[in-house]
């Protein structure tokens, strides 16, 4: 009988296309992906691998922060009027963006590179814990009148746009995207 309930919700294993994620599920999936890359970075010994992972982490976090700041956070603030939680999240993003810029301007040749990535990992773990804890932003969003499905669609669209067209991205063609897939060659030369 459970399978008929699953099908009614669009979650049967036979569905051709995966069900769209609501806003909270999309953000949590981003959190899990970046956590995985941070773990891989900690284990990496090769400088090229470290650079690749740091680039993926920074790119993913920039996109994640942007969709939160443009779409999720304003909707959260409007629905909950929780200025304290909103403002704290914005300030945490500002700190992370500062460190991301330092990492992006650096390389494994920098004595502080690994430490910067480690500190960024710790900052992000704290931020994720704040958002995902039982009385955190995501729980508060779920209790509110926010249309998390519509926000999820909007955020997924914006995320796709940001991943495919990053005007500040001067990296060579073929650099990994934030979601782990390879970018299509753009014809730019090194």
- Rounded-to-5 percentages of helix, strand, coil across the chain: 65, 0, 30
Range(s) of the domain holding residue 73: 21-163
Total structural domains within the chain: 1
Quickly state the pLDDT bin for 119 (edges 50, 70, 90). Answer: very high
What is the model's pTM? 0.77
Is residue 58 one of the residues assigned to a domain? yes
Is residue 146 one of the residues assigned to a domain? yes
Is residue 91 one of the residues assigned to a domain? yes
Task: Tell me what pLDDT residue 14 has.
Answer: 43
Is residue 185 one of the residues assigned to a domain? no
Is residue 57 one of the residues assigned to a domain? yes
Is residue 5 one of the residues assigned to a domain? no
Question: The domain spanning residue 67 has which CATH number?
Answer: 1.20.120.520
Q: At what angle do helices 113-132 and 47-67 cross, to 10 degrees?
A: 30
Q: Please determine, for residue 11, whether its predicted confidence score (pLDDT) is greater than 90.
A: no
Q: Which whole-number Å values give the CA distances from 77 to 74, 118, 123, 143, 171, in the listed order?
A: 5, 31, 22, 13, 35
Is residue 175 one of the residues assigned to a domain? no
pLDDT tens per residue across span 15-60 = 444 567 899 999 999 999 999 999 999 999 999 999 999 999 999 9
pLDDT tens per residue across span 141-189 = 999 999 999 999 999 999 999 998 644 444 433 334 343 434 333 333 3
Is residue 46 one of the residues assigned to a domain? yes
């Amino acid at each position: 009988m459970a399978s008929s309930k699953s099908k009614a919700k669009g979650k049967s294993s036979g569905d051709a296309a995966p069900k769209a994620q609501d806003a909270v599920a999309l953000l949590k999936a981003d959190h899990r992906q970046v956590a995985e890359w941070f773990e891989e970075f900690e284990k990496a010994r090769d400088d090229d691998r470290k650079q690749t992972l740091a680039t993926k982490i920074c790119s993913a976090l920039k996109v994640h922060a942007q969709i939160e700041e443009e779409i999720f956070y304003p909707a959260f603030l409007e629905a909950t009027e929780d200025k304290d939680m909103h403002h704290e999240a914005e300030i945490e993003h500002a700190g992370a963006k500062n460190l991301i810029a330092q990492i992006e301007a650096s390389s494994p040749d920098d004595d502080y590179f690994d430490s910067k990535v480690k500190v960024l990992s710790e900052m992000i773990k704290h931020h994720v814990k704040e958002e995902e804890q039982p009385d955190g932003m995501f729980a508060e969003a779920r209790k509110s009148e926010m249309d998390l499905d519509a926000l999820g669609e909007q955020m997924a669209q914006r995320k796709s746009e940001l991943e495919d067209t990053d005007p500040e991205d001067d990296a060579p063609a073929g650099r990994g995207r934030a979601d782990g897939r390879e970018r299509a060659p753009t014809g730019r030369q090194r």
